[in-house]
Structure 1
Amino acid sequence: MRRLPPLTAIEAVVQVARLGSVKAAAQELALSAPALSRRVQALERFIGRPLFDRRHQAMSLNADGERLIAQIAPAIDMLADAVEALTSATDVQRLRLGVLPLFASQRLFPRLPELRTRHPELHLDIDTAGHGITRLGEGLDAAIVLARDVEPALYARRLDRNRILVIGSKAMVDGPDPITEPKQLRTVTALVHRDMPDTFTAWCLAAGVGEIEPLAVDHFDSGALMLEAAAQGLGVAFMHESHFEDAHDARLARLFDIRVESPYSYWFVCRPRALMQRPVKLFHEWLIGALEAPAG
């Protein structure tokens, strides 16, 4: 049998590829940075060529590294599936799902009782850490992500189309100095989600108001916290219409009656072979049907 490199070295390379730095990967694997670097170097010596381009603290896969990760990812998936099958009860189907917290609280969890009734054997491990696409097969079976589009190598199903709203506090509409015209956005802070970085620019261009410079732009990785910041009067949030409507927060108000289509959508994504796994198949089929019906 042909000799294989240590699994720990492969695991180290996969984590660095996913997280982009030795420091972050070392924290994930509970190792020191030098120890993790040695594992990466061990695999590079085994193969006989470097797998990363190294720049200061960051590391990105080179062409050989990308080719290797693409080829070993299915094998890693199969190994994880085999371990899961042996360590889980035979009557439990488990799905490791990456999902953004706001989508989970507004649109997924209100429907989960129906999923449990239909498929009591299906259990979800919920992961809200982000970077769902890059972690498919490396801790996640499937993910619900917010993106413009998804790379063709993955299975992707668009879950919605949306509009961008400018969302502020009620006081911005009903207070003594209401914001009634887009040019007044120069006087406030714009709140923008890191997964939707172009919402502010897209809204301004589509609304025909040019390149307005807000007082500042604050970035969030949590939609729920963006809505809370807007409700507290800390700025105006550029978010989806569904985020506003599903919040049911009387403290919030929509600014301006301007309809701007969003370049971003929610997507269900997984690796193509993952659709052959029963937990992924059950959840995928249920999710598509559930989002076409109102939440119970």
Structure 2
Amino acid sequence: MAIRRLPPLRAIEAFVRIVRLGSARAAADELGLSPSALSRRVAALEDFIGKRLFTRQHQAMRLTDDGQAFYDAVSPRFDELAAAVEGQVEDSKVLRLHLGLLPLFGSQRLFPRLPELRKAHPRLHIDFDTSPHLDHRVGDTLDAAIILSKQPEPMFHAVRLDHNRVYAFTSAALVEEIGSHPDEAELSKQTFLIHTELPDSFIAWKKAIGLPGLEPAAVDHYDSGQLILEAAANGLGIAIMHDDHFHRSHDKRLAKLFDVEVESPYSYWFICRPHALEVRAVRIFHDWISKAGL
């Protein structure tokens, strides 16, 4: 049987990474290539298939219709090939998982339980990535991630890890100063501390206390839950966060503001590409965290 001729896999890898990362520069950085070397790989792929995959304008590369069709056809099979090769690699010492993780979830919920996983699977080791926008890199530079989301994109296999309530809390002294009942005049003088990726938590909380139009003196945005906790404990503002983070902090400097129950729009989710479950390291972690009840 004649063997079909294939383009260089490195050229296909370069093409797939440009599409997934959204830029040629990011793809070149990931692959450790110069921009010109990356461009040559893409040009070689275009020559092989006889189609223009990208339009190039002012350093930007945009998919053509042929490029989109090629990506839709090749991307899943490229992932399957990568998983198949990985499954054949013999490594009796280490199973490696590249996991995206939010730092506060890691410190409060995951790390205290990881010794259980290590004991059950001593070959499994995890590289952690706490950069923002984790979901954008799952399936490329990350095998899987734990994210906060209303609902992950349908392209992912997703496991919901919890249900949460929204709390408003701050320093005990500021709670006493504000009082036990919502007052719009008093709250309008305050600074609120909001996570940049969870804006709807504040909207839900304002609605629950009967002040949907509340305009505080300021809203300070943070990309770190741990920093929000510390800022609130020092009286720098009123944190709008999940009840779980409040309770797990065990910080006696903090106190809840008002006795109100608010369902959070967001949950923690474990996500990965469906085909990634064929990779042993991903499957082990997925099965464990699905049952761990963190």
TM-score range (shorter-chain normalised) is: 0.7 to 0.9
- Residue of structure 2 equivalent to 1:134: 136
- Residue of structure 2 equivalent to 1:148: 150
Please list, as runs of the form range in 1=range in 2, the aligned pairs for 1:98-117 lying within 5 A after superposition.
98-117=100-119
- Residue of structure 2 equivalent to 1:205: 207
**In 1: Cα distance, 2:61 partner to 2:249 partner:** 39
- Residue of structure 1 equivalent to 2:222: 220
Percent identical residues: 54
- Residue of structure 2 equivalent to 1:232: 234
1:180-224 CA distances to partner (integer Å, 9 max, x unpaired)? 525233222222223212211122123321221222223222211
Secondary structure in structure 2 of the residue aligned to 1:259? coil
Large movers: runs of 4+ above 6 Å: 56-60
- Residue of structure 1 equivalent to 2:182: 181
- Residue of structure 1 equivalent to 2:79: 77
**In 1: Cα distance, 2:79 partner to 2:29 partner:** 22
CA drift of 1:163 comes to: 0.7
Q: Could you state the TM-score of these two structures normalised by the residue count of structure 2?
A: 0.82
Task: Note if contact 2:53-2:68 (Cα within 8 Å) is conserved in structure 1.
Answer: no
- Residue of structure 1 equivalent to 2:193: 191
Task: Note if contact 2:191-2:237 (Cα within 8 Å) is conserved in structure 1.
Answer: yes
Pick the aligned partner of 2:244 from 242, 254, 257: 242
1:222-245 CA distances to partner (integer Å, 9 max, x unpaired)? 211221222232222211111111
Task: Note if contact 2:98-2:141 (Cα within 8 Å) is conserved in structure 1.
Answer: yes
Q: Could you state the TM-score of these two structures normalised by the residue count of structure 1?
A: 0.81
After alignment, is 113-122 or 208-217 more displaced? 208-217
Please list, as runs of the form range in 1=range in 2, the aligned pairs for 1:76-95 lying within 5 A after superposition.
76-81=78-83, 84=86, 89-95=91-97
Secondary structure in structure 2 of the residue aligned to 1:124? strand
Kindly tell me the number of residue pairs found equivalent between the two proteins: 290
**In 2: Cα distance, 1:148 partner to 1:100 partner:** 15
Instruction: Tell me the amino acid that sits aligned with residue 128 of structure 1.
Output: T
After alignment, is 37-46 or 275-284 more displaced? 37-46
Secondary structure in structure 1 of the residue aligned to 2:128? strand
When Rg is computed on C-alpha atoms for both structures, the one with the higher figure is: 2
**In 2: Cα distance, 1:272 partner to 1:132 partner:** 16
What stretches of structure 2 of length at least 5 have no aligned partner? none
**In 2: Cα distance, 1:278 partner to 1:27 partner:** 28
CA drift of 1:138 comes to: 0.8
Task: Note if contact 1:193-1:220 (Cα within 8 Å) is conserved in structure 2.
Answer: yes
**In 2: Cα distance, 1:100 partner to 1:39 partner:** 35
> Cα gap change, 1:153/1:180 in structure 2, threshold over 3 Å: closer, same or farther?
same
Task: Note if contact 1:154-1:272 (Cα within 8 Å) is conserved in structure 2.
Answer: yes
What stretches of structure 1 of length at least 5 have no aligned partner? none
Instruction: Tell me the amino acid that sits aligned with residue 197 of structure 1.
Output: P
- Residue of structure 1 equivalent to 2:279: 277
1:116-154 CA distances to partner (integer Å, 9 max, x unpaired)? 111222222222223332222212222111111122232
1:144-185 CA distances to partner (integer Å, 9 max, x unpaired)? 11111122232111110101111222221135x658525233
Task: Note if contact 1:201-1:211 (Cα within 8 Å) is conserved in structure 2.
Answer: no
Task: Note if contact 1:162-1:240 (Cα within 8 Å) is conserved in structure 2.
Answer: yes
> Cα gap change, 1:79/1:181 in structure 2, threshold over 3 Å: closer, same or farther?
same
Secondary structure in structure 2 of the residue aligned to 1:115? helix
* 1:157 is aligned to 2:159: yes
Secondary structure in structure 1 of the residue aligned to 2:113? helix
Secondary structure in structure 2 of the residue aligned to 1:199? helix
After alignment, is 41-50 or 236-245 more displaced? 41-50
> Cα gap change, 1:215/1:267 in structure 2, threshold over 3 Å: closer, same or farther?
same
Secondary structure in structure 2 of the residue aligned to 1:234? coil
